[in-house]
Structure 1
Amino acid sequence: MTRDWSCYWRSPDRPLEAMHAHFEQHVYHRHSHDTYSFGVTEIGAQAFTCRGSAHTSATGMVMAFNPDDPHDGHAADQFGFTYRIIHIGPEVVADALEDTTGHRTGLPLFTDPVLDDPVLAHSLHAFHLALLGGASALRRDELLRATVAAMVRRGSTTSRASGGTLRTGGAPRTGAQLIAERVRRRLDDSPLDDLTATDLAAAAGCSRFMVYRAFQAAYGLAPSDYQRQLRLRTARRLIARGLPLGEVAAQSGFADQSHLTRWFTRTYGVTPGTYRRAGRQPTG
């Protein structure tokens, strides 16, 4: 019998969410978030792949994911792991850094997904407790600024350009990168369309084999996984607006509510119903 559990909190007015969970059997399907995601492992160890390498976050370690960093995750052993994770929108991170430094800088980039840093672990733990524990809005904002500043000061290595793309020094893009960008634009433009590999090949001007290989290399996800992720992000927005789950499924491109629930849970570790209720209560 599984002992998996999770509780979730989300802000009703800005992209700020938090989850506290213990997983022994749950396996995260490969996905990414449109937020920064900072986590701390409390007990056990979580194994995952990110940026082409395998990583393990053991007790006391910190995880740092950039927006759109594809990753998966599962327990490193049969005893499972307990962790806390906070999702912070890029605009919230930028505002927090401006409040801290007095001027607006480029968004941070974290190159190491796992950091062994007790100071960061303590900061994240305190912030997470405040979010799920019903702390005042003022206290949450203070801890948000302190946590973001600490993460950037101790964990980031460079910054993103103001437009959100990585600074590459003007290096020309390869043919494969151009193909991947064309495929992504096609998927972004029509996330609910039942596109085929032939449709994507036509949009990119290449073979179906090149579509898959170029997209996987550029974004770390298969085109089908990326399309499903777009639909899940649409579903999250609709759920936050209070739409019935059956209607959410229909409007976000899922066959039915059961189909939505299955993929939502595999990707985010909570059911759509739990996610909806998280915005109605002060604690997890």
Structure 2
Amino acid sequence: MHAHFSAHVYARHSHDAYSFGLTEAGAQQFSCRGGAHTSAAGLLMAFNPDDPHDGRAAADLGYQYRMVHIGPQLVREVLADATGGRGSMPLFADPVLHDPVLRGTLLRLHTALAGGADPLVRDERLTAAVTAMVRRGASGPVRVAADAPGGARARAARRARDLLRERFGEQVPAQELAGAAGLSRFALYRAFRAEYGMTPGDYQRLLRLRRGRELLAGGVTAAQAAAEAGFADQSHFHRWFVRYYGVTPGTYQRAARTR
């Protein structure tokens, strides 16, 4: 959810999930756990499952915020994968947090969910969000499962890389990628980043961009290049092409034709 409210008043309610409100502008007042709270721009609202709360604007211009809900079962699954079953469910004692790290992690997850990112990217950002939740909100210490030894880690990352190279234009489920590597999803993310300096999702995007660049140089349209390289649409291809190469696909194609 991404919205702006000025006159709307939320009735007292709760969610069956961990719910995080990322306040972007203005301020919101709400009551929760017997107290009154205000979340201004830059702050984070953190509700545990079944935390009753309401909400209203705290300023004349209202407030703008994003809302992220993460179900307890998803949290359990990620924790089981990341900690070998030793992780405890997080419990946030304060419903208003100033935590730039957790906020940034949740913002990246929301952006992936709202922007139609590939399942592999969404899964990576969900894992990052859940582990950040635990490290910053769990009532006790959490032990993360140990990495595979160096040689085994490199071989596992290489198996995942080879699968991504073979099927870079497809949606490769995170569980399938982890199975091919012989690691848990969490261990694979750590191993892959250690070996190649990026997540599997980032690497897959890079492969798609390289293919798209080849297609542009060969004379196909940007729309065709986006589709054949595996991007969801031309706008995604355009945006990432500029981020990676500093020029638009059209500019690159015109330059390639003059060589």
Q: TM-score, normalised by structure 1?
A: 0.48
Identify the match of residue 22 of structure 2 among 25, 35, 40.
40
> Do the aligned partners of 2:13 and 2:52 also contact (CA within 8 Å) in 1?
yes
Q: What percentage of aligned pairs have identical amino acids?
A: 63
Alpha-carbon offset, residue 89 of structure 1: 1.1
| AA of the residue aligned to 1:132 | A
> Do the aligned partners of 2:5 and 2:64 also contact (CA within 8 Å) in 1?
yes
| AA of the residue aligned to 1:66 | N
- 1-structure distance, mates of 2:72, 2:36: 25
RMSD over equivalenced CA pairs, Å: 1.5
Partner of residue 190, structure 1: none
Q: Does 1:120 align with 2:102?
A: yes
Q: 1:169-218 CA distances to partner (integer Å, 9 max, x unpaired)? A: xxxxxxxxxxxxxxxxxxxxxxxxxxxxxxxxxxxxxxxxxxxxxxxxxx
- 2-structure distance, mates of 1:76, 1:145: 33
Partner of residue 61, structure 1: 43
SS in 2 for 1:34: coil
Structure 1 unaligned spans of 5+:
1-18, 160-284
Alpha-carbon offset, residue 104 of structure 1: 4.3
- 1-structure distance, mates of 2:130, 2:3: 22
- 2-structure distance, mates of 1:54, 1:156: 23
Q: Does 1:90 align with 2:72?
A: yes
Largest Rg, 1 or 2: 2
- 2-structure distance, mates of 1:99, 1:142: 12
SS in 2 for 1:106: coil
Structure with the larger RCO, 1 or 2 (CA within 8 Å, 6+ apart) = 1
> Do the aligned partners of 2:47 and 2:95 also contact (CA within 8 Å) in 1?
yes
- 1-structure distance, mates of 2:95, 2:75: 18
- 2-structure distance, mates of 1:101, 1:53: 34
SS in 2 for 1:129: helix
SS in 2 for 1:63: strand
| AA of the residue aligned to 1:79 | L
Partner of residue 2, structure 2: 20
- 1-structure distance, mates of 2:28, 2:82: 32
- 2-structure distance, mates of 1:99, 1:80: 41
Partner of residue 100, structure 1: 82
Alpha-carbon offset, residue 155 of structure 1: 2.7
SS in 2 for 1:122: helix
Q: 1:238-283 CA distances to partner (integer Å, 9 max, x unpaired)? A: xxxxxxxxxxxxxxxxxxxxxxxxxxxxxxxxxxxxxxxxxxxxxx
Partner of residue 157, structure 1: 139
Identify the match of residue 122 of structure 2 among 140, 147, 156.
140
SS in 2 for 1:84: strand
Structure 2 unaligned spans of 5+:
142-259
- 2-structure distance, mates of 1:158, 1:62: 21
- 1-structure distance, mates of 2:139, 2:97: 12
- 2-structure distance, mates of 1:32, 1:116: 22
SS in 2 for 1:56: strand
- 2-structure distance, mates of 1:125, 1:65: 16
